[in-house]
Amino acid sequence: MLDVDAVLAEPLVPAREAGRAIGYVGPDIPEDLLAVPGYAALHLPWRRPAKTPWADVWLEDAFPGWARTILEDWAAGRFDFLEAVIFSRGDDAAQRLYYYVCELQRQQQIGGPTPLVFDVARIPRASSVEWTARAVGLLAAELGLSDTDLVAGIAVANKRRESLRELDSDAALPGRYRERIARASLFVGTERLALDRVPRLADRTHFRGMVLLAGSAPPDDGLHLAVEAAGWTVAADVHPRNLARLGPPIEDGDEPPARRIARHVHEHSPGPRGFRDRGAAIVRVARELGVDAVVLWLFEEDEAFAWDVVGARRQLEQAGIPSLILARRRWDLSDAPGEDIARFLAELKP
């Protein structure tokens, strides 16, 4: 079993040691394809802090820092051991990075694994499910996967879903470890993580209050540590990389596995291009957990959630939930969001 902190320190090691391995970038990539036995799959890791002089030559300012560090490491050959990397069209930065990688390979500026793209459709109608099912089938074919492989992948992915959902509901799990486990599970399956070694809280009475962290996916546990430094704890996260990101298990059925996978992605994906009321989702989770405040953090380049900020703020005010909106912030947390969080929480009396 692998220690969570050890995986975060060297995220490429488990996949490198597995033999056959693939990578992916962005949300919406079906866990059921990534969980197929026979190879390892991991999200390409990002680094903070990191200088990216090579990537900065090619990428515009609109690319977030995580994408810049991935391209920098790609050019340096860090991902050469991977057979392929799947990019999601469910995230603007991920899909744009796909095209840049393709063009840079065409120009022989970089080498590395074969870039693939997963074209998920999220509009709430039947044709989107059909489109996504075709995309699942195409991606499976590119990876050489059969229907039997997909059924096996669904079984493994369902166990991961159940494991992460159980952790998400564990009130004794410290906030910072909620983030660390969620991040580590991007690099190795939860079945290989030593989750029994993760510390648990005897109770939460020594904390001044509980915070819900929402918005963009943070680069690491820096925001969680800032909340804890103020004497509070993060009770839950609502962002695309949280513990609940895989959704519920896929149920058995008579449909082909590609369609079952597509239906699940269409209904439960946490990607930013989903058609849902994010403000209402934040309020719902905040009420369910009885948190005392919400911190909504958005980095500058995350345009998808920016459209929901005004509505989310209004719904939180109507629900009587104190909130701190940290919009247009730096992805690497170099603009000291911890100071803003400390001031906000110091003024509250939960």
Q: Give residue 106's identity as a one-letter amino acid code.
A: R
At 272 the pLDDT is 59
What is the DSSP track for 218-274? PSSSHHHHHHHHTT-EEEEEESTTSTTTT-SPPPP-SS-HHHHHHHHHHHH---TT-
At 202 the pLDDT is 75
List 211's β-bridge partners, or say none: 234, 293
At 269 the pLDDT is 75
Q: Give residue 38's identity as a one-letter amino acid code.
A: G
> Alpha-carbon distance 302 to 306, whole Å?
7
> Alpha-carbon distance 261 to 134, whole Å?
11
Decide: helix, strand or coil at residue 196.
helix
At 201 the pLDDT is 85
> Alpha-carbon distance 102 to 136, whole Å?
21
| pLDDT beneath 50, residues of the chain | none
> Alpha-carbon distance 305 to 208, whole Å?
29
List 87's β-bridge partners, or say none: 25, 117
Q: Are 318 and 179 in contact (CB under 8 A)?
A: no
Q: C-alpha angle 271/38/190, rounded to 5°?
A: 50
Mention every residue, 6+ apart, whose C-beta is less than 8 A from residue 191: 156, 159, 160, 163
Domains in the chain: ranges and CATH? 4-151 (3.40.50.11890), 203-346 (3.40.50.11900)
What is the DSSP track for 270-329? --TT--S-HHHHHHHHHHHHT-SEEEEEEETT-HHHHTTHHHHHHHHHHTT--EEEEEEE
Q: Which one, of 90, 115, 91, 89, lies nearest residue 101 by Cα? A: 115
At 350 the pLDDT is 61
DSSP assignment, residue 188?
Answer: S
